[in-house]
Amino acid sequence: MVTNDELVHEKVLKAVMDYLQSISFNKTPPEISMHVHQIIKEVTKCDDPYQKAKGKNNALAKRLYPWAKSIINKADDKLLAAIKIAIAGNVIDFGASMRFDVEKTMMDALKTRFAINDYEKFKLALKKAEKILYLGDNAGEVVFDKLLLNQLANAGKEIVYAVKERPIINDATMEDAIVAEIDKMVKVIAVKGNAPGVILRLCPREFMDYYDSANMVIAKGQGNYESLSDEPIFFLLIVKCELVARDLGVKVGDIVLKRG
Amino acid sequence: MVTNDELVHEKVLKAVMDYLQSISFNKTPPEISMHVHQIIKEVTKCDDPYQKAKGKNNALAKRLYPWAKSIINKADDKLLAAIKIAIAGNVIDFGASMRFDVEKTMMDALKTRFAINDYEKFKLALKKAEKILYLGDNAGEVVFDKLLLNQLANAGKEIVYAVKERPIINDATMEDAIVAEIDKMVKVIAVKGNAPGVILRLCPREFMDYYDSANMVIAKGQGNYESLSDEPIFFLLIVKCELVARDLGVKVGDIVLKRG
Protein backbone atom coordinates (compact mmCIF):
# COMPACT_ATOMS: atom_id res chain seq x y z
CA MET A 1 0.00 0.00 0.00
CA VAL A 2 2.93 2.34 0.55
CA THR A 3 5.15 1.69 -2.45
CA ASN A 4 5.59 -0.47 -5.56
CA ASP A 5 9.37 -0.30 -5.18
CA GLU A 6 10.41 -3.94 -4.89
CA LEU A 7 13.73 -3.01 -3.32
CA VAL A 8 11.78 -1.48 -0.43
CA HIS A 9 9.63 -4.63 -0.21
CA GLU A 10 12.83 -6.69 -0.02
CA LYS A 11 14.27 -4.43 2.69
CA VAL A 12 11.06 -4.76 4.71
CA LEU A 13 10.96 -8.55 4.34
CA LYS A 14 14.58 -8.99 5.35
CA ALA A 15 14.29 -6.64 8.34
CA VAL A 16 11.14 -8.48 9.48
CA MET A 17 12.86 -11.86 9.09
CA ASP A 18 15.80 -10.54 11.09
CA TYR A 19 13.43 -9.56 13.91
CA LEU A 20 11.39 -12.80 13.79
CA GLN A 21 14.54 -14.85 14.18
CA SER A 22 15.36 -13.20 17.47
CA ILE A 23 12.05 -13.64 19.27
CA SER A 24 10.21 -16.25 21.26
CA PHE A 25 7.29 -17.73 19.35
CA ASN A 26 5.38 -17.72 22.65
CA LYS A 27 4.72 -14.00 22.29
CA THR A 28 1.14 -13.17 21.36
CA PRO A 29 0.41 -12.22 17.73
CA PRO A 30 -0.39 -8.56 18.61
CA GLU A 31 2.95 -8.20 20.37
CA ILE A 32 4.85 -9.65 17.40
CA SER A 33 2.71 -7.63 15.01
CA MET A 34 3.47 -4.42 16.89
CA HIS A 35 7.18 -4.82 16.23
CA VAL A 36 6.70 -6.03 12.66
CA HIS A 37 4.61 -2.98 11.79
CA GLN A 38 7.12 -0.72 13.54
CA ILE A 39 9.75 -2.11 11.15
CA ILE A 40 7.43 -1.55 8.16
CA LYS A 41 6.84 2.05 9.25
CA GLU A 42 10.54 2.73 9.71
CA VAL A 43 11.69 1.19 6.43
CA THR A 44 8.90 2.71 4.34
CA LYS A 45 9.03 6.02 6.25
CA CYS A 46 5.22 5.92 6.41
CA ASP A 47 3.60 6.14 9.82
CA ASP A 48 0.12 5.08 8.72
CA PRO A 49 0.08 2.77 5.68
CA TYR A 50 -3.60 1.92 6.23
CA GLN A 51 -4.86 5.52 6.41
CA LYS A 52 -6.74 5.36 3.08
CA ALA A 53 -8.23 1.95 3.83
CA LYS A 54 -9.45 3.17 7.22
CA GLY A 55 -11.12 6.23 5.71
CA LYS A 56 -12.85 4.07 3.12
CA ASN A 57 -14.09 1.64 5.77
CA ASN A 58 -15.42 4.44 7.97
CA ALA A 59 -17.32 5.88 5.02
CA LEU A 60 -18.77 2.48 4.09
CA ALA A 61 -19.86 1.82 7.68
CA LYS A 62 -21.52 5.23 7.95
CA ARG A 63 -23.52 4.56 4.79
CA LEU A 64 -24.67 1.21 6.22
CA TYR A 65 -25.39 2.57 9.71
CA PRO A 66 -29.05 3.62 9.24
CA TRP A 67 -29.87 0.24 7.69
CA ALA A 68 -28.17 -1.65 10.55
CA LYS A 69 -29.92 0.57 13.11
CA SER A 70 -33.34 -0.18 11.62
CA ILE A 71 -32.64 -3.90 11.78
CA ILE A 72 -31.85 -3.71 15.49
CA ASN A 73 -34.95 -1.59 16.14
CA LYS A 74 -37.09 -4.28 14.53
CA ALA A 75 -35.44 -7.13 16.48
CA ASP A 76 -37.20 -8.93 19.35
CA ASP A 77 -33.99 -9.06 21.37
CA LYS A 78 -32.35 -5.74 20.57
CA LEU A 79 -29.30 -6.37 22.76
CA LEU A 80 -28.60 -9.67 21.03
CA ALA A 81 -29.07 -8.13 17.59
CA ALA A 82 -26.76 -5.24 18.49
CA ILE A 83 -24.08 -7.66 19.69
CA LYS A 84 -24.30 -9.64 16.47
CA ILE A 85 -24.21 -6.53 14.26
CA ALA A 86 -21.21 -5.23 16.21
CA ILE A 87 -19.41 -8.56 15.79
CA ALA A 88 -20.23 -8.77 12.09
CA GLY A 89 -18.93 -5.21 11.68
CA ASN A 90 -15.53 -6.77 12.26
CA VAL A 91 -15.48 -8.12 8.69
CA ILE A 92 -14.95 -4.58 7.44
CA ASP A 93 -11.36 -4.93 6.57
CA PHE A 94 -9.40 -5.59 3.43
CA GLY A 95 -10.96 -8.84 2.36
CA ALA A 96 -14.50 -7.50 2.66
CA SER A 97 -14.67 -3.88 1.70
CA MET A 98 -17.81 -4.09 -0.41
CA ARG A 99 -21.19 -3.03 0.88
CA PHE A 100 -22.66 -6.35 -0.16
CA ASP A 101 -20.19 -8.39 1.91
CA VAL A 102 -20.88 -6.45 5.07
CA GLU A 103 -24.68 -6.55 4.66
CA LYS A 104 -24.56 -10.27 3.97
CA THR A 105 -22.30 -10.98 6.96
CA MET A 106 -24.67 -9.05 9.23
CA MET A 107 -27.78 -10.83 7.94
CA ASP A 108 -26.00 -14.17 8.32
CA ALA A 109 -24.87 -13.30 11.86
CA LEU A 110 -28.43 -12.46 12.88
CA LYS A 111 -29.59 -15.87 11.69
CA THR A 112 -26.61 -17.78 13.08
CA ARG A 113 -26.00 -19.06 16.60
CA PHE A 114 -22.82 -18.16 18.44
CA ALA A 115 -20.29 -21.00 18.15
CA ILE A 116 -19.47 -20.16 21.78
CA ASN A 117 -22.46 -18.62 23.51
CA ASP A 118 -22.00 -16.85 26.84
CA TYR A 119 -24.94 -14.51 26.23
CA GLU A 120 -26.63 -15.42 29.52
CA LYS A 121 -23.43 -14.60 31.41
CA PHE A 122 -23.16 -11.40 29.38
CA LYS A 123 -26.68 -10.29 30.37
CA LEU A 124 -26.05 -11.16 34.03
CA ALA A 125 -22.76 -9.23 34.09
CA LEU A 126 -24.43 -6.31 32.36
CA LYS A 127 -27.24 -6.25 34.89
CA LYS A 128 -24.77 -6.01 37.77
CA ALA A 129 -22.27 -3.67 36.09
CA GLU A 130 -22.06 0.05 36.75
CA LYS A 131 -18.90 0.78 34.83
CA ILE A 132 -18.18 -0.85 31.47
CA LEU A 133 -14.93 -0.69 29.51
CA TYR A 134 -15.39 -1.41 25.80
CA LEU A 135 -12.20 -2.19 23.85
CA GLY A 136 -12.76 -1.26 20.20
CA ASP A 137 -11.07 -2.91 17.25
CA ASN A 138 -11.01 -1.61 13.66
CA ALA A 139 -11.84 1.57 11.81
CA GLY A 140 -15.27 1.24 10.18
CA GLU A 141 -16.28 -1.38 12.71
CA VAL A 142 -16.38 1.37 15.37
CA VAL A 143 -19.44 2.81 13.65
CA PHE A 144 -21.39 -0.39 14.33
CA ASP A 145 -20.10 -0.49 17.92
CA LYS A 146 -22.28 2.60 18.46
CA LEU A 147 -25.38 0.44 18.11
CA LEU A 148 -24.23 -1.81 20.94
CA LEU A 149 -23.04 1.17 22.99
CA ASN A 150 -26.56 2.55 22.62
CA GLN A 151 -28.04 -0.59 24.13
CA LEU A 152 -25.58 -0.45 27.02
CA ALA A 153 -26.17 3.26 27.59
CA ASN A 154 -29.94 2.74 27.54
CA ALA A 155 -29.41 0.31 30.42
CA GLY A 156 -27.98 3.28 32.36
CA LYS A 157 -24.36 2.19 32.42
CA GLU A 158 -21.25 4.38 32.60
CA ILE A 159 -19.22 3.44 29.54
CA VAL A 160 -15.64 4.08 28.49
CA TYR A 161 -14.65 3.24 24.91
CA ALA A 162 -10.99 2.54 24.17
CA VAL A 163 -9.22 3.06 20.84
CA LYS A 164 -5.52 2.88 19.94
CA GLU A 165 -3.19 5.78 20.59
CA ARG A 166 -1.02 5.32 17.49
CA PRO A 167 -1.91 3.97 14.02
CA ILE A 168 -1.46 0.19 13.83
CA ILE A 169 -2.79 -1.80 10.87
CA ASN A 170 -6.47 -0.78 10.51
CA ASP A 171 -7.19 -0.42 14.21
CA ALA A 172 -9.40 2.49 15.19
CA THR A 173 -7.68 5.55 16.64
CA MET A 174 -9.19 8.64 18.26
CA GLU A 175 -9.67 10.08 14.77
CA ASP A 176 -11.91 7.16 13.80
CA ALA A 177 -13.90 7.41 17.05
CA ILE A 178 -14.52 11.08 16.28
CA VAL A 179 -15.53 10.34 12.67
CA ALA A 180 -17.98 7.76 14.08
CA GLU A 181 -19.11 10.36 16.65
CA ILE A 182 -18.59 7.92 19.51
CA ASP A 183 -17.08 10.78 21.51
CA LYS A 184 -20.53 12.39 21.56
CA MET A 185 -22.01 9.31 23.26
CA VAL A 186 -19.41 8.06 25.73
CA LYS A 187 -15.96 8.84 27.10
CA VAL A 188 -13.25 7.75 24.65
CA ILE A 189 -9.73 6.92 25.83
CA ALA A 190 -6.62 5.84 23.95
CA VAL A 191 -4.62 2.71 24.72
CA LYS A 192 -0.94 3.72 24.79
CA GLY A 193 1.50 2.08 22.41
CA ASN A 194 0.91 0.62 19.00
CA ALA A 195 -0.06 -3.02 19.31
CA PRO A 196 -3.12 -4.32 17.42
CA GLY A 197 -4.55 -5.51 20.72
CA VAL A 198 -4.12 -4.63 24.40
CA ILE A 199 -0.92 -5.83 26.07
CA LEU A 200 -1.67 -5.26 29.73
CA ARG A 201 1.91 -5.33 30.97
CA LEU A 202 2.72 -2.47 28.61
CA CYS A 203 -0.30 -0.37 29.66
CA PRO A 204 0.30 2.62 31.95
CA ARG A 205 -1.43 3.05 35.32
CA GLU A 206 -3.97 5.45 33.79
CA PHE A 207 -5.39 2.77 31.49
CA MET A 208 -5.16 0.06 34.16
CA ASP A 209 -7.31 2.20 36.46
CA TYR A 210 -10.08 2.11 33.85
CA TYR A 211 -9.51 -1.60 33.24
CA ASP A 212 -9.47 -2.60 36.91
CA SER A 213 -12.36 -0.40 38.01
CA ALA A 214 -14.70 -1.59 35.26
CA ASN A 215 -17.22 -4.22 36.41
CA MET A 216 -17.43 -5.51 32.87
CA VAL A 217 -14.92 -5.42 30.02
CA ILE A 218 -16.04 -6.05 26.44
CA ALA A 219 -13.25 -6.78 23.96
CA LYS A 220 -13.93 -6.73 20.23
CA GLY A 221 -12.09 -8.67 17.55
CA GLN A 222 -9.27 -11.17 17.18
CA GLY A 223 -6.45 -8.83 18.20
CA ASN A 224 -7.98 -8.24 21.61
CA TYR A 225 -8.69 -11.95 22.02
CA GLU A 226 -5.11 -12.84 21.09
CA SER A 227 -3.66 -10.46 23.63
CA LEU A 228 -6.22 -10.88 26.45
CA SER A 229 -7.53 -14.45 26.12
CA ASP A 230 -6.53 -15.34 29.69
CA GLU A 231 -8.54 -12.45 31.21
CA PRO A 232 -12.03 -12.90 32.72
CA ILE A 233 -13.66 -10.51 30.23
CA PHE A 234 -16.15 -10.77 27.36
CA PHE A 235 -14.84 -11.40 23.86
CA LEU A 236 -16.97 -10.55 20.83
CA LEU A 237 -15.41 -11.73 17.60
CA ILE A 238 -15.79 -13.29 14.22
CA VAL A 239 -13.07 -15.92 13.76
CA LYS A 240 -10.75 -14.97 10.92
CA CYS A 241 -7.88 -17.45 11.00
CA GLU A 242 -7.15 -21.12 11.63
CA LEU A 243 -4.96 -20.44 14.63
CA VAL A 244 -7.65 -18.63 16.62
CA ALA A 245 -10.24 -21.17 15.43
CA ARG A 246 -8.08 -23.98 16.79
CA ASP A 247 -7.52 -22.17 20.08
CA LEU A 248 -11.27 -21.62 20.57
CA GLY A 249 -12.30 -25.02 19.20
CA VAL A 250 -14.50 -23.43 16.52
CA LYS A 251 -14.35 -22.82 12.75
CA VAL A 252 -13.14 -19.87 10.68
CA GLY A 253 -16.16 -17.62 10.03
CA ASP A 254 -17.89 -18.54 13.31
CA ILE A 255 -19.18 -15.77 15.56
CA VAL A 256 -18.24 -15.99 19.21
CA LEU A 257 -19.48 -14.40 22.44
CA LYS A 258 -17.16 -15.82 25.04
CA ARG A 259 -16.35 -14.96 28.62
CA GLY A 260 -12.64 -15.59 29.15
CA MET B 1 4.26 -33.64 7.13
CA VAL B 2 7.33 -34.69 9.10
CA THR B 3 6.45 -33.74 12.67
CA ASN B 4 3.85 -32.04 14.85
CA ASP B 5 6.56 -30.81 17.21
CA GLU B 6 6.15 -27.03 17.15
CA LEU B 7 9.67 -26.49 18.44
CA VAL B 8 10.95 -28.18 15.28
CA HIS B 9 8.63 -25.99 13.18
CA GLU B 10 10.08 -22.94 14.92
CA LYS B 11 13.65 -24.13 14.33
CA VAL B 12 12.88 -24.65 10.63
CA LEU B 13 11.22 -21.23 10.26
CA LYS B 14 14.06 -19.41 11.96
CA ALA B 15 16.74 -21.23 9.99
CA VAL B 16 14.88 -20.49 6.74
CA MET B 17 14.54 -16.81 7.67
CA ASP B 18 18.23 -16.69 8.47
CA TYR B 19 19.00 -18.03 4.99
CA LEU B 20 16.49 -15.78 3.18
CA GLN B 21 18.02 -12.70 4.77
CA SER B 22 21.38 -13.45 3.24
CA ILE B 23 20.36 -13.96 -0.38
CA SER B 24 19.65 -11.91 -3.45
CA PHE B 25 15.95 -11.87 -4.31
CA ASN B 26 17.02 -12.08 -7.96
CA LYS B 27 17.67 -15.80 -7.59
CA THR B 28 15.09 -17.99 -9.29
CA PRO B 29 12.46 -19.65 -7.07
CA PRO B 30 13.84 -23.18 -7.69
CA GLU B 31 17.30 -22.08 -6.58
CA ILE B 32 15.94 -20.49 -3.40
CA SER B 33 13.63 -23.46 -2.86
CA MET B 34 16.53 -25.90 -3.18
CA HIS B 35 18.31 -24.31 -0.22
CA VAL B 36 15.12 -23.88 1.81
CA HIS B 37 14.26 -27.56 1.45
CA GLN B 38 17.84 -28.51 2.27
CA ILE B 39 17.39 -26.64 5.56
CA ILE B 40 14.07 -28.40 6.19
CA LYS B 41 15.68 -31.78 5.55
CA GLU B 42 18.60 -31.05 7.87
CA VAL B 43 16.54 -29.67 10.76
CA THR B 44 13.84 -32.36 10.56
CA LYS B 45 16.40 -35.10 9.80
CA CYS B 46 14.05 -36.34 7.07
CA ASP B 47 15.44 -36.65 3.57
CA ASP B 48 12.09 -37.05 1.79
CA PRO B 49 9.17 -35.34 3.59
CA TYR B 50 6.91 -35.78 0.55
CA GLN B 51 7.48 -39.52 0.11
CA LYS B 52 3.94 -40.51 1.15
CA ALA B 53 2.31 -37.78 -0.94
CA LYS B 54 4.30 -38.87 -3.99
CA GLY B 55 3.27 -42.49 -3.57
CA LYS B 56 -0.37 -41.47 -3.26
CA ASN B 57 -0.17 -39.31 -6.38
CA ASN B 58 1.49 -42.06 -8.42
CA ALA B 59 -1.26 -44.46 -7.39
CA LEU B 60 -4.01 -41.96 -8.27
CA ALA B 61 -2.45 -41.24 -11.66
CA LYS B 62 -2.12 -44.94 -12.46
CA ARG B 63 -5.81 -45.48 -11.71
CA LEU B 64 -6.71 -42.60 -14.05
CA TYR B 65 -4.29 -43.61 -16.79
CA PRO B 66 -6.57 -45.96 -18.80
CA TRP B 67 -9.32 -43.34 -18.82
CA ALA B 68 -6.93 -40.59 -19.96
CA LYS B 69 -5.49 -42.90 -22.63
CA SER B 70 -8.96 -43.64 -24.04
CA ILE B 71 -9.70 -39.92 -24.27
CA ILE B 72 -6.56 -39.31 -26.32
CA ASN B 73 -7.34 -42.26 -28.58
CA LYS B 74 -10.75 -40.76 -29.34
CA ALA B 75 -9.36 -37.26 -30.02
CA ASP B 76 -9.11 -35.83 -33.55
CA ASP B 77 -5.73 -34.28 -32.78
CA LYS B 78 -4.09 -36.90 -30.58
CA LEU B 79 -0.86 -34.92 -30.15
CA LEU B 80 -2.75 -31.87 -28.96
CA ALA B 81 -4.90 -33.94 -26.61
CA ALA B 82 -1.81 -35.67 -25.20
CA ILE B 83 -0.12 -32.31 -24.59
CA LYS B 84 -3.17 -31.00 -22.75
CA ILE B 85 -3.56 -34.16 -20.65
CA ALA B 86 0.14 -34.02 -19.77
CA ILE B 87 -0.17 -30.35 -18.74
CA ALA B 88 -3.33 -30.97 -16.71
CA GLY B 89 -1.57 -33.85 -14.96
CA ASN B 90 0.47 -31.14 -13.30
CA VAL B 91 -2.44 -30.36 -10.95
CA ILE B 92 -1.74 -33.61 -9.13
CA ASP B 93 -0.19 -32.13 -6.09
CA PHE B 94 -1.34 -31.28 -2.61
CA GLY B 95 -4.21 -29.00 -3.43
CA ALA B 96 -5.80 -31.41 -5.86
CA SER B 97 -5.31 -34.97 -4.78
CA MET B 98 -8.81 -36.18 -5.48
CA ARG B 99 -9.67 -38.18 -8.54
CA PHE B 100 -12.51 -35.80 -9.35
CA ASP B 101 -10.22 -32.73 -9.42
CA VAL B 102 -7.78 -34.33 -11.82
CA GLU B 103 -10.50 -35.63 -14.16
CA LYS B 104 -12.19 -32.25 -14.18
CA THR B 105 -8.94 -30.38 -14.86
CA MET B 106 -8.20 -32.70 -17.78
CA MET B 107 -11.67 -32.34 -19.30
CA ASP B 108 -11.46 -28.57 -18.86
CA ALA B 109 -8.01 -28.46 -20.44
CA LEU B 110 -9.25 -30.38 -23.50
CA LYS B 111 -12.00 -27.80 -24.00
CA THR B 112 -9.82 -24.76 -23.20
CA ARG B 113 -7.44 -22.88 -25.48
CA PHE B 114 -3.83 -22.32 -24.48
CA ALA B 115 -3.43 -18.83 -22.98
CA ILE B 116 -0.11 -18.83 -24.85
CA ASN B 117 -0.27 -21.06 -27.90
CA ASP B 118 2.93 -22.08 -29.67
CA TYR B 119 1.46 -25.36 -30.87
CA GLU B 120 2.35 -24.66 -34.52
CA LYS B 121 5.98 -24.02 -33.53
CA PHE B 122 5.85 -27.17 -31.41
CA LYS B 123 4.69 -29.31 -34.36
CA LEU B 124 7.31 -27.78 -36.65
CA ALA B 125 10.11 -28.38 -34.13
CA LEU B 126 8.88 -31.92 -33.56
CA LYS B 127 8.87 -32.61 -37.29
CA LYS B 128 12.51 -31.57 -37.59
CA ALA B 129 13.76 -33.07 -34.34
CA GLU B 130 15.63 -36.33 -34.07
CA LYS B 131 16.55 -36.16 -30.41
CA ILE B 132 14.13 -34.88 -27.80
CA LEU B 133 14.90 -34.14 -24.16
CA TYR B 134 11.79 -34.16 -21.97
CA LEU B 135 12.18 -32.56 -18.50
CA GLY B 136 9.62 -34.12 -16.16
CA ASP B 137 8.09 -32.42 -13.16
CA ASN B 138 6.09 -34.09 -10.38
CA ALA B 139 5.39 -37.59 -9.13
CA GLY B 140 1.99 -38.72 -10.37
CA GLU B 141 2.19 -36.31 -13.27
CA VAL B 142 4.91 -38.51 -14.78
CA VAL B 143 2.29 -41.18 -15.47
CA PHE B 144 0.42 -38.82 -17.79
CA ASP B 145 3.67 -37.78 -19.47
CA LYS B 146 3.74 -41.32 -20.85
CA LEU B 147 0.79 -40.47 -23.07
CA LEU B 148 2.67 -37.60 -24.64
CA LEU B 149 5.88 -39.64 -24.83
CA ASN B 150 3.87 -42.23 -26.76
CA GLN B 151 2.89 -39.64 -29.35
CA LEU B 152 6.50 -38.50 -29.70
CA ALA B 153 7.81 -42.07 -29.92
CA ASN B 154 5.21 -42.93 -32.55
CA ALA B 155 6.70 -40.10 -34.60
CA GLY B 156 9.98 -42.06 -34.52
CA LYS B 157 11.96 -39.75 -32.24
CA GLU B 158 14.78 -40.63 -29.90
CA ILE B 159 13.63 -39.49 -26.48
CA VAL B 160 15.41 -38.95 -23.19
CA TYR B 161 13.27 -38.31 -20.10
CA ALA B 162 14.82 -36.46 -17.14
CA VAL B 163 13.82 -36.79 -13.50
CA LYS B 164 15.50 -35.42 -10.34
CA GLU B 165 18.42 -37.21 -8.76
CA ARG B 166 17.50 -36.41 -5.14
CA PRO B 167 14.06 -35.97 -3.52
CA ILE B 168 12.90 -32.34 -3.67
CA ILE B 169 9.32 -31.40 -2.78
CA ASN B 170 7.10 -33.69 -4.88
CA ASP B 171 9.33 -33.75 -7.96
CA ALA B 172 9.61 -37.10 -9.71
CA THR B 173 12.75 -39.12 -9.07
CA MET B 174 14.00 -42.30 -10.77
CA GLU B 175 11.79 -44.30 -8.40
CA ASP B 176 8.67 -42.52 -9.71
CA ALA B 177 9.74 -43.01 -13.32
CA ILE B 178 10.09 -46.72 -12.64
CA VAL B 179 6.69 -46.90 -10.90
CA ALA B 180 5.22 -45.17 -13.98
CA GLU B 181 7.17 -47.63 -16.19
CA ILE B 182 8.65 -44.81 -18.25
CA ASP B 183 11.98 -46.64 -18.16
CA LYS B 184 10.38 -49.34 -20.31
CA MET B 185 9.56 -46.78 -23.02
CA VAL B 186 12.48 -44.35 -23.18
CA LYS B 187 15.87 -43.65 -21.67
CA VAL B 188 15.53 -42.02 -18.23
CA ILE B 189 18.27 -39.84 -16.78
CA ALA B 190 18.58 -37.99 -13.45
CA VAL B 191 19.31 -34.28 -13.14
CA LYS B 192 22.03 -33.89 -10.52
CA GLY B 193 21.35 -31.85 -7.42
CA ASN B 194 18.11 -31.18 -5.64
CA ALA B 195 16.46 -28.12 -7.09
CA PRO B 196 12.75 -28.27 -8.06
CA GLY B 197 13.73 -27.18 -11.56
CA VAL B 198 16.83 -27.33 -13.74
CA ILE B 199 19.60 -24.87 -12.89
CA LEU B 200 21.86 -25.17 -15.91
CA ARG B 201 24.98 -23.63 -14.33
CA LEU B 202 24.82 -26.35 -11.65
CA CYS B 203 24.38 -29.21 -14.14
CA PRO B 204 27.37 -31.44 -14.89
CA ARG B 205 28.74 -32.00 -18.40
CA GLU B 206 26.92 -35.33 -18.68
CA PHE B 207 23.50 -33.66 -18.44
CA MET B 208 24.55 -30.71 -20.60
CA ASP B 209 25.51 -33.12 -23.36
CA TYR B 210 21.93 -34.39 -23.45
CA TYR B 211 20.59 -30.84 -23.21
CA ASP B 212 22.80 -29.41 -25.95
CA SER B 213 22.50 -32.31 -28.36
CA ALA B 214 18.70 -32.40 -28.21
CA ASN B 215 16.99 -30.74 -31.17
CA MET B 216 13.95 -30.10 -29.01
CA VAL B 217 13.62 -29.69 -25.25
CA ILE B 218 10.21 -30.00 -23.58
CA ALA B 219 10.00 -28.67 -20.02
CA LYS B 220 7.01 -29.48 -17.84
CA GLY B 221 5.64 -27.40 -14.98
CA GLN B 222 6.32 -24.14 -13.18
CA GLY B 223 9.62 -25.15 -11.59
CA ASN B 224 11.21 -25.77 -14.95
CA TYR B 225 9.74 -22.54 -16.32
CA GLU B 226 11.06 -20.58 -13.35
CA SER B 227 14.57 -21.91 -13.77
CA LEU B 228 14.75 -22.04 -17.59
CA SER B 229 12.44 -19.25 -18.83
CA ASP B 230 15.23 -17.57 -20.82
CA GLU B 231 16.02 -20.73 -22.80
CA PRO B 232 14.71 -21.36 -26.36
CA ILE B 233 12.78 -24.48 -25.34
CA PHE B 234 9.13 -25.52 -25.06
CA PHE B 235 7.31 -24.98 -21.77
CA LEU B 236 4.17 -26.94 -20.95
CA LEU B 237 2.50 -25.76 -17.78
CA ILE B 238 -0.62 -24.91 -15.89
CA VAL B 239 -0.12 -21.59 -14.10
CA LYS B 240 -0.29 -22.03 -10.33
CA CYS B 241 0.73 -18.71 -8.82
CA GLU B 242 0.34 -14.97 -9.34
CA LEU B 243 4.05 -14.41 -9.85
CA VAL B 244 4.35 -16.76 -12.82
CA ALA B 245 0.99 -15.49 -14.15
CA ARG B 246 2.32 -11.93 -14.08
CA ASP B 247 5.59 -12.96 -15.76
CA LEU B 248 3.74 -14.72 -18.58
CA GLY B 249 0.96 -12.14 -18.86
CA VAL B 250 -1.73 -14.77 -18.21
CA LYS B 251 -4.02 -15.81 -15.35
CA VAL B 252 -3.68 -18.40 -12.59
CA GLY B 253 -5.25 -21.64 -13.84
CA ASP B 254 -4.39 -20.93 -17.51
CA ILE B 255 -2.70 -23.64 -19.55
CA VAL B 256 0.35 -22.60 -21.53
CA LEU B 257 2.33 -24.05 -24.42
CA LYS B 258 5.12 -21.55 -24.90
CA ARG B 259 8.40 -21.55 -26.75
CA GLY B 260 10.91 -19.56 -24.65
Shortest alpha-carbon distance between residue B36 and chain A (Å): 14
B220 has pLDDT over 90: yes
A189 contacts A165 by C-beta, under 8 angstroms: no
* Residue B91 pLDDT grade (very low, low, confident, very high; cuts 50, 70, 90): confident
Tell me the residue length of chain B: 260
Look up residue A79 and give its DSSP letter. Answer: H
* Residue B92 pLDDT grade (very low, low, confident, very high; cuts 50, 70, 90): confident
Q: What is the C-alpha to C-alpha distance for residues B176 and B139, in angstroms, rounded to an integer?
A: 6
Residues of A with Cβ-Cβ distance to B26 under 8 angstroms: none
Shortest alpha-carbon distance between residue A173 and chain B (Å): 33
* CB within 8 Å: A18 and B21: yes
Q: What is the pLDDT of residues A241-258, one digit of tens each?
A: 999 999 999 999 999 999
Which residue type, as a one-letter code, is found at position A148? L
The CA-based angle A237-A238-A240, given to 5 degrees, is 120
CA dist B88 → A8, B114, B142, B182 (Å): 37, 12, 11, 18
Strand partners, B131: B158
Q: What is the pLDDT of residues B156-173, one digit of tens each?
A: 999 999 999 999 999 999
Within an 8 Å CB–CB cutoff, is residue A1 touching chain B?
no
Q: What is the mean pLDDT of residues A35-54?
A: 95
A95 has pLDDT over 70: no
Look up residue A171 and give its DSSP letter. Answer: B
- Looking at chain A, list the stretches that DSSP marks H as alpha helix, in order from N- to C-terminal side: 6-22, 29-44, 51-74, 78-88, 99-111, 119-128, 141-154, 174-179, 205-213, 221-228, 242-248
Residues of B with Cβ-Cβ distance to A13 under 8 angstroms: 20
* CB within 8 Å: B10 and A20: no
* Residue A96 pLDDT grade (very low, low, confident, very high; cuts 50, 70, 90): very low
Shortest alpha-carbon distance between residue B69 and chain A (Å): 41
Residues of A with Cβ-Cβ distance to B14 under 8 angstroms: 20-21
Burial of residue A49 (number of CB atoms within 10 Å: 0-12, 13-18, 19+) = middle
